[in-house]
Amino acid sequence: MIASQLTPRSRLLLGPGPCDAHPRVLTAMTTPLLGHLDPQFLEIMTETQSMMREVFGTNNRLTFPISATGMAGMETCLVNLLEPDDTVVVCAKGFFGARMIDVAERTGARVIALHQPWGQAFDLNHLREVLKRERPKAFGIVQAETSTGVHQSLEGLGKLCQELGTLLIVDCVTSLGCTPLKVDDLKIDAAFSCSQKGLGCPPGLSPLTFSDRAVAALKARKSKVRSWYLDLTMIESYWGGDRSYHHTAPISMIYALREGLRIVLEEGLEARWARHFRNHVALKAGLEALGLNYIAAPGCQLPQLNAVHIPAGIEDIPNRKRMLIDFDIEIGGGLGDFKGKAWRIGLMGYNSKPSSVFQVLAALETVLRGAGLKVAAGSGVAAAEVAYGN
């Protein structure tokens, strides 16, 4: 059997990721391959690392993309920084924090799991208290919890962690390229992200950065890192100094990331964060006009991930299917505690723009009215228009 030519319908990807890649990124990916040790490619690696540092807001020497998705970045941080006798405190306020607990437990370290009801952020005073009491080797937290649309403030945590000798590990998968993140200012020791959300690239890479303190902890390990592929002491010799072979770099994905980072820096980080916020404000006005309420409280709502309660009496799957089939728009459903109860609308990277806002609001209005909800014609779009005008 030979499958038919690859011609899927194009969609507008407004879920939690992947998001649409910037057209320039897709073009960059068609660049002919180079060998992974070709001097031209080594130069491309250096350029990519240098742009990654700028986008992360860091001078960390150990900054490079892991050749796999965001979860591999999470696993890389934990498996490299933890050994069986270590203690780590991990925070879960949603699906991805819960995953971090699971990944941490697999390292054999003693894991102290902190739970916050889904939809809420952690209280900083509570975190300070726990950290002072436990003095763990590492502390892991998600900045942008994609499952609930909650933003977690990291204010003061880095300084406290430094005083306590604790390594601060932050999941920046959905924050990088969307909302303010400055790794050095926040004194983050290990941060990881992905290519397919705020950076406007396809999935496949996990940008990662380690502070000098994290590198020192890595060097001080008593035992071998319990993963061959993700062992930074080995990958470092390819991406770090001597560029010696560890695994074959995914050449086309590095081209993609290089272009994605160029686009971020051309726009400017501050301008990019402001753009995400502006489009979120308009979308939020529209969603609320349609009767959709945010899960996260005002003040901790993520601009790039708008998670709303599905209105009473409205079905989840058939209506998301209508969005996809009738309007070619993908939005996300709920995960874990919010399965069947939430819709998640992503406005990330390339897709954070007025045309996405107006398209999704117009389609949602039609779908919701079709499902029996009373919504005034054009009310969502009109509210967004007013918000853009302000």
Interface residues with ligand PLP (CB under 6 A)?
Answer: 17, 69-71, 96, 142, 144, 146, 171, 173-174, 194, 203
Which residue, among 187, 172, 189, has the nearest Cα to 96 in the 3D structure?
172
* Residues 51, 268 contacting (CB under 8 angstroms): no
Partner residues linked to 12 by β-bridges: 329
Q: Which is nearer to ligand PLP, 96 or 327 (CB)?
A: 96
- The least CB distance from residue 326 to ligand PLP, in Å, is 27
Q: Which is nearer to ligand PLP, 147 or 290 (CB)?
A: 147
User: Looking at beta carbons, which residue is closest to ligand PLP?
Assistant: 70
Q: Which is nearer to ligand PLP, 66 or 381 (CB)?
A: 66
Which residue type, as a one-letter code, is found at position 216?
A
Q: Which is nearer to ligand PLP, 60 or 174 (CB)?
A: 174
What is the spatial distance between Cα 383 and Cα 284, in angstroms, rounded to a whole number? Answer: 9
- The least CB distance from residue 7 to ligand PLP, in Å, is 26
Q: Which is nearer to ligand PLP, 14 or 290 (CB)?
A: 14
SS3 89: strand
Can you say how many angstroms the Cα of residue 249 is from the centroid of all Cα atoms in its chain? 22
- The least CB distance from residue 15 to ligand PLP, in Å, is 10
Q: Which is nearer to ligand PLP, 142 or 201 (CB)?
A: 142
- The least CB distance from residue 45 to ligand PLP, in Å, is 21
Q: Which is nearer to ligand PLP, 142 or 168 (CB)?
A: 142
- The least CB distance from residue 292 to ligand PLP, in Å, is 21
Q: Which is nearer to ligand PLP, 18 or 380 (CB)?
A: 18
- The least CB distance from residue 128 to ligand PLP, in Å, is 23
Q: Which is nearer to ligand PLP, 286 or 346 (CB)?
A: 346
- The least CB distance from residue 144 to ligand PLP, in Å, is 6
What is the spatial distance between Cα 226 and Cα 234, in angstroms, rounded to a whole number? Answer: 12
What is the spatial distance between Cα 386 and Cα 364, in angstroms, rounded to a whole number? Answer: 18
Task: Indicate the length of the chain as a whole number.
Answer: 390
- The least CB distance from residue 189 to ligand PLP, in Å, is 18
- The least CB distance from residue 205 to ligand PLP, in Å, is 9
